[in-house]
Amino acid sequence: MSQLYYYDEAGNKIPTTAQELKSMALRGVINKNTVVETEDGKRARAEKVNGIVFPEEAKSDPLPFPSPTPKAAEEQRQEPFAPQTPPPAGLTCPGCGSAVASGQAFCSKCGSKTDGRPSTPSPVFCRQCGAQLQANQLFCSSCGARQDGAVVPPPVPRADGVNNLNKKHGKTTAGLLGILLGGIGLHKFYLGSWGWGILFIVSIFILPGASALCGLIEGIIYLTMNEQKFDAKYNMTPSEPFRW
């Protein structure tokens, strides 16, 4: 049986046979504009290929393919048409979400590479407190923080009880800096909020004592804050100049 090729909508060159092309034409898998290629590099639209009949009408002006041998012709007569089966439920393209057949390498609509496996959306967590959210949720249902699309997974505790989060800031250190040196905003510089730190220093000359009082209050808040909430706010999100 002569080896043929056809090009799908994504431009992929797929090997086939004359019998398979006839079956795909009758089932609507290919159309009359599908490009077909022979082993020696000759190309033509499917409507020009000898023996391919589309449901609406038969075409003429065939591409001169070599005649099959008697053995090949017998194989073609005995080969049943492949039934058209819908793709298994749950198999979707990761690019556009359209259904794809199991094992299909490329999506026929958007051309995205796919392995035919079900696409499972990644879990979304609040960037402020780490609570799990619904996809595209604008505000956290636990702490009310506005979300900007960043997905931050919560830290996973190890079997020995030690948190595997690479901490940059400790809440005890931040609390003591706020209580003892909050007047000059040292706790703000420690947490990466250098913008607030500068304002604390400026406030020493404008409102003496106010910055020290704010630092004392913040230091107490840090010490009494839940460990997971502190990590979610100061260790799992990028530092910002005016992050309070």
Domain-by-domain residue ranges, the chain?
A: 4-78, 87-120, 166-234
Phi, psi (5° rounding) for residue 41? Answer: 95, 5
How far apart, in whole angstroms, are the C-alpha atoms of residue 215 and residue 209?
10
Instruction: For helices 210-224 and 171-181, give the axis angle rounded to 10 degrees.
Output: 160
Predicted pLDDT at 196: 92
- Give the sign of the dihedral formed by CA 236, CA 237, CA 241, CA 244: negative
CB 6 within 8 A of CB 16: yes
Residue with the larger pLDDT of the pair 32 and 218: 218
Q: Residue 230 CB: number of other CB atoms within 10 A?
A: 22
**In the chain, beta strands by DSSP E:** 4-7, 13-16, 35-38, 43-45, 124-125, 132-133
pLDDT band for position 75 (cuts 50, 70, 90): low
Q: Is the pLDDT of residue 83 over 90?
A: no
pLDDT band for position 80 (cuts 50, 70, 90): very low
How far apart, in whole angstroms, are the C-alpha atoms of residue 105 and residue 91?
12
Q: Is the pLDDT of residue 140 over 70?
A: yes
Residue type, 202: V
Q: Is the pLDDT of residue 30 over 80?
A: yes
Least confidently predicted of 10-14, 89-93, 206-210: 89-93
Predicted pLDDT at 219: 92
- Average pLDDT of the chain? 74
How far apart, in whole angstroms, are the C-alpha atoms of residue 77 and residue 164?
65
CB 211 within 8 A of CB 164: no
